[in-house]
């Protein structure tokens, strides 16, 4: 519950509701993540059937995440549609440059914007929050260029506040771990293929079935690097049947399986960009 002292968060929720009331109807780019789900929930509460959630399905989305998005939309009672995007057909995306996300979001909103116009929705909105604006997110620029609005960022709602508001509204997934697309598991410059996405997805699914929820499997060449919260590393090594895990990962196509001793760090790839920037002349 939001405490009585958290009036600022409650005021931001009211501002978010007012923002959607002024829109009158909106199409929500809905991945099923905590941010876009909150946007979809508030839009639906305010606009009813004049809010439409649209999920883009592609190889970079885990099948489980796609299924969860559908389940969550049904639980919220939202109108929900699915489209297919084809970023994997674009070499600007699959060659994995540092602005890869720009081309992914370009494909997404080049798909959604015409559909919104065709279906009579004057606004396309996304789940970008205020904290996202402080990180390296080239996809945000692609969205802006296509007229997409970011209600959470416009109101100034941070990631923590997204969780607080979601809990206040009774969303059972308020504490759901962030789950960026599978392409984020590869170092910039390494080609992304459907097969590589598949094996990363299989590896992360294996670990989740063991009970680990906050994790990444970073893929670099033939190496899988497992990231777990630093506090969980010792328990993981003690409780996990490591030979069995290695065998499973090798069956997925990896040759080397490692554990990152630094632990899980969200956005770790962007640390490389910061390091390169600090050491450049």
Residue 34 falls within a domain, yes or no?
A: yes
Per-residue pLDDT, 269:
66
* CA atoms of 227 and 217, how far apart (whole Å): 6
Rg (CA), the chain: 19
* CA atoms of 102 and 258, how far apart (whole Å): 30
* CA atoms of 252 and 141, how far apart (whole Å): 35
Q: Beta partners for 26?
A: 51
For the cut 80, the answer to whether the pLDDT of residue 237 exceeds it is yes
For the cut 60, the answer to whether the pLDDT of residue 276 exceeds it is no
* CA atoms of 281 and 276, how far apart (whole Å): 10
Residue 229 falls within a domain, yes or no?
A: yes
Residue 1 falls within a domain, yes or no?
A: no
List Cβ<8 Å contacts ≥24 apart for 230-234. 230/262, 230/263, 230/264, 231/263, 232/263, 233/259, 233/261, 233/263
Contacts of 163 (CB under 8 A, 6+ apart): 34, 174, 175
For the cut 50, the answer to whether the pLDDT of residue 5 exceeds it is no
For the cut 70, the answer to whether the pLDDT of residue 223 exceeds it is yes
Residue 239: domain span: 182-279
Question: Which H helix or E strand runs over 125?
Answer: strand 124-125
Per-residue pLDDT, 135:
87
Number of domains in the chain: 2
Q: Are residues 68 and 128 in the same domain?
A: yes
Per-residue pLDDT, 4:
43
Per-residue pLDDT, 265:
86
Residue 173 falls within a domain, yes or no?
A: no
Tell me 144's DSSP state: H
Q: Are residues 139 and 197 in the same domain?
A: no
Place 274 in a pLDDT band, splitting at 50, 70 and 90: low
Give the closest residue to 176 by CA, choosing from 59, 65, 66: 65
* CA atoms of 3 and 24, how far apart (whole Å): 30
Per-residue pLDDT, 7:
56
Residue 176 falls within a domain, yes or no?
A: no
Q: Are residues 220 and 109 in the same domain?
A: no
Q: What is the pTM of this model?
A: 0.89
Question: Which H helix or E strand runs over 242?
Answer: helix 242-252
């Amino acid at each position: 519950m939001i405490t009585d002292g958290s009036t600022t968060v409650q005021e931001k929720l009211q501002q978010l509701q007012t923002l959607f009331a002024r829109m009158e109807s909106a199409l929500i780019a809905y991945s099923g993540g905590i941010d876009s789900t909150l946007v979809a929930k508030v839009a639906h509460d305010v606009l009813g059937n004049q809010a439409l959630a649209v999920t883009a399905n592609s190889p970079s989305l885990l099948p489980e995440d796609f299924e969860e998005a559908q389940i969550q939309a049904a639980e919220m009672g939202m109108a929900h549609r699915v489209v297919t995007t084809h970023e994997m057909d674009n070499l600007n995306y699959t060659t994995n440059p540092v602005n890869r996300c720009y081309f992914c979001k370009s494909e997404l909103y080049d798909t959604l914007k015409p559909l919104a116009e065709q279906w009579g929705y004057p606004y396309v909105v996304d789940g970008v929050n205020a904290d996202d604006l402080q990180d390296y997110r080239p996809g945000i620029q692609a969205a802006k260029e296509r007229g997409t609005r970011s209600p959470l960022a416009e109101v100034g709602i941070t990631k923590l506040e997204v969780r607080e508001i979601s809990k206040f509204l009774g969303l059972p997934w308020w504490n759901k771990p962030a789950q960026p697309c599978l392409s984020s598991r590869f170092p910039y410059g390494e080609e992304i293929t459907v097969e590589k996405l598949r094996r990363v997805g299989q590896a992360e699914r294996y670990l989740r079935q063991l009970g680990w929820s906050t994790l990444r499997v970073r893929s670099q060449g033939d190496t899988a690097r497992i990231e777990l919260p630093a506090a969980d590393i010792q328990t993981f090594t003690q409780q996990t049947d490591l030979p069995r895990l290695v065998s499973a990962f090798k069956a997925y196509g990896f040759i080397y399986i490692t554990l990152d001793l630094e632990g899980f760090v969200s956005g770790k790839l962007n640390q490389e960009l910061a390091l390169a920037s600090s050491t450049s002349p």
